[in-house]
Amino acid sequence: MTLVRIPGAFLQWVGLESTFNASITQGVALTAGDHIVYIDRAHQVDIQLASADTIRVHNGTNGTRAGNVTLIW
């Protein structure tokens, strides 16, 4: 996934959703909680917008999930 930050305004991206019905995802996130990309097979853990300048990993399950998110710049 490629993520572009426009400081203080929004994040925009293009990438590939995780497996199980994998598809191209793209868009602009403006509101906290906006979905960006799923990072698990079951589409329960995703990257979301936290603020105009930050992301968060959201676990939508009742269980514990572990993994890594690598940022390269």
Confidence of residue 38 (pLDDT cuts 50, 70, 90): very high
Average pLDDT of the segment spanning 23-47: 93
What percent of the chain is modeled with pLDDT above 70? 100
Q: What is the pLDDT of residue 21?
A: 78
Whose structure tokens read 């572990």?
66
Write 55-58 long-range contacts (CB < 8 A, 24+): 55/3, 55/11, 58/33
Q: What is the pLDDT of residue 19?
A: 82
Q: Cα(55)–Cα(68) distance, rounded to whole angstroms? A: 14
Confidence of residue 8 (pLDDT cuts 50, 70, 90): very high
How many other C-beta atoms lie within 10 A of the C-beta of residue 7? 7
Instruction: Pick left, alpha or beta for residue 43 (phi over 0 → left; psi -120 to 50 → alpha; otherwise beta).
Output: left
